Amino acid sequence: MIPELKVYLSKPDGSITWNTDWISEFESPWSIFQKIQFTNLLNKRDYFHLFGTSETIKKKTIVGARNHNLYSMPSFDDNRFINILGFSLKKYNSDVIKNISGFLNDGGMREMQEIFSGNWYWRKSLTFCCECLIDGYHSILHQFGLFQQCPFHQKPLYDQCPNCSAKYPYELFKDQTYFESTLTCMCSHQYKKFNRGVSLNTHWKAYRSNDLSDKLAIQWLSLNQLQKSNLSSVYLYPHTSINETPQLLKFYLNYIERDTTPDHYSVETSDHLKRINNIPYLKGKYIRKNNREFENINTAKNHITFFSNHQNIVMSEFQIIRNSMFSSVAKHLRRTILKKHKSCIKRYTSVIKTKEGMDIPICPYASAYVKWKQKIMKIVHFYDVDAIPYSRTSFCSENVSFLGYLDEDPIFDIMNSYLAKFPTKKSNYSYISWLISHTYSYLFLHLFKLYLTDSVDKIIENKDLTLKETILAFSFPGKLSDKVQKFWDQNNLNHYFSENELICPYPTIRSKRRTSNEESFHPMQLALNRDRSHI
């Protein structure tokens, strides 16, 4: 249950202008500091002098994101908050965060570079409800990534100024950097208009749990320990954009009710999230082969080892799975969405132009498929995609990572998270094989979808395959004998491919044929033409 505010309140020492009646439930440290600033005209340095740890106070300059972090608040002494404010601000803030998200699992999938564990679910930018700010209130609930609207007003949350579009970091920032005064942006936009001629008590409206109106938020805040324990077994795909996946809250809430339909579970939302059960121990050719011994995965550190990859038979088997899934997905695309565009692909890889060397229209499906295959197989030139044998590509034998980046690769993250749960000591890796095979197939399809959009170049340059508005998650059981479950938004991809039909410049069979005014400018063809001219 959510911590009760009254437990954290006491009597302030009166050293500053302050009243514990001004404190609301779920109020963020940022909001508290704004109130202190207004009533006492303090600057950032004053906060550290009043509430900082003994080490912080000794510093001449207090720089770095760590010192200004309002989630973990490492530079502040809670005893000073208790004495001066009559409020255990640091502990209350920490306890609220732990109760809201502490049970959620980043699964070891992502090593947080931020200050506190679980930051994945909490927004880096100040996110606010304009209605709340009018009352001089900002809630820590606004910072929680699963909440897409204000739990009190059910109004949209914003992370930038409505006037100048400035974004504010969720931290104790320096005066005159983002705000020129209390709740007033540097562009002079006032989130709240103050009247200093009235009593201070009239400036701040009290918010209580009874004021919550969002049903999903109320349901989340009311989770019991058993429900939280169930959710702790869910491992979300490590590069999911929490803020851009609005259906995630419903997914989690539906997950804890899965026992009502254990055999054929389906989340009844517009997203149609589905679940499949794996065969606990696959007996395919990838796992058990005659006269082969499997090396144990590093169980001391519980993670996949990257060293001596060619000597590691297990990793070699995983390479076979990866390569097989890629071939299967490529065939699936050519038989379905690309069925009518095979000639377009041939035209594109043959570098067809007019005889004068002028470019001709390129089929968007052909372009997406060739670039998709080129990226995954690490082929330098797009026109070699269908010319270089698959077995000769570095993709075929390099490693098991998805795009070849060992750092924060989603495949390794998922395998490591499973090993953290169940260190593998036997020569049976069927669970991991099942995990990576299904993850590969989903990511290969998702990457192809990205190549049909304008955002793909940015994503690939960042070496980060981010999932937005779609869910890929796994549920690792409480014991090894139980089944691993996969959750994915299958219809998200199917709907995209069916509803976002692109215009092919060659709609008929006849138009796809090479005309008398077209010829191939493929480098190999140009070389052959030059040789013939000398005969």
Tell me the pLDDT tens digit for each residue of 35-61. 999 999 888 889 999 999 999 988 888
> pLDDT by residue (tens digit) across 130-171?
999 999 999 999 999 999 999 999 999 999 999 999 999 999
Q: How far apart are the two ends of the chain, measured CA to CA in Å?
A: 87
Q: Residue 49 in contact with residue 57, Cβ under 8 Å?
A: yes
pLDDT for 110 equals: 43
Residues 163, 144: Cα–Cα separation, whole Å: 24
Q: For residue 290, what are its two tokens?
A: 């005659």
- Our separate counts of H helices and E strands in the chain read 20, 8
Task: Give the lowest-confidence range in 97-106, 140-149, 413-422.
Answer: 413-422
Residues 174, 184: Cα–Cα separation, whole Å: 14
The DSSP code for 201 is G
The DSSP code for 308 is T
Position 357 pLDDT exceeds 60: yes
- Reduced to 3 states, what is the DSSP secondary structure of residue 39? helix
Residues 182, 375: Cα–Cα separation, whole Å: 50
Residues, the chain: 535
Q: Which residue has the tokens 């994101």?
A: 65
pLDDT for 143 equals: 97
Q: What is the arrangement of strands in the sheet containing 234-236, beginning at the earlier edge strand? A: 234-236, 472-475, 485-488, 274-277
Phi first, then psi, for residue 204 (nearest 5°) are: -115, 120
Phi first, then psi, for residue 248 (nearest 5°) are: -65, -40
Average pLDDT, the chain: 79
Residues 386, 379: Cα–Cα separation, whole Å: 10
pLDDT for 460 equals: 55
> pLDDT by residue (tens digit) across 53-86?
999 988 888 777 788 899 999 999 999 999 999 9
Share of the chain above pLDDT 70, in %: 73
Q: Is 275 or 324 the better-scoring residue by pLDDT? A: 324
pLDDT for 260 equals: 39
CA distances from 250 to 11, 134, 217, 247, 255 (A): 41, 29, 10, 5, 8
- Reduced to 3 states, what is the DSSP secondary structure of residue 217? helix
Domain layout of the chain by residue ranges = 5-216, 253-499
CA atoms within 13 A on the CB side of 167: 8
